[in-house]
Amino acid sequence: MMPASIDTTSLPLPTSLVGTWRRFGLFGPVYEIIGIGDKLPNGDVSMRVRVVESGEELDYRFTDILDDPKER
């Protein structure tokens, strides 16, 4: 079974989030969005983020980023 496609027409552009900061959930660590990765099969986009606390870089889904609170 194929995953449902994501309608991104009403979402901000992934490029507009590069250089911004968010937090994993309400109490998780802060991360910086540092780049854009590949388009995923379901229409989502992979984003590259850096966890401030550890310096670790990882891929994180664009739609998951939109669910995370902005960090000031």
Q: Residue 43 in contact with residue 6, Cβ under 8 Å? A: yes
pLDDT for 5 beyond 80: no
What domain range is 60 assigned to? 16-67
Residue 11 included in any domain: no
Mean pLDDT, range 53-57, rounded to an integer? 97
* Mean pLDDT, the chain, whole residue set: 90
Task: Provide the whole-model pTM.
Answer: 0.81
Is position 55 within any domain?
yes
Residue 61 included in any domain:
yes
> Does 25 fall in a domain?
yes
Q: 3 lies in a domain?
A: no
Query: What's the pLDDT at 23?
Result: 97
What pLDDT score does 12 carry? Answer: 87
CATH of the domain at 45: 2.30.30
Residue 2 belongs to a domain: no
Q: Structural domain tally of the chain? A: 1
Contact 15, 35 (CB under 8 A): no
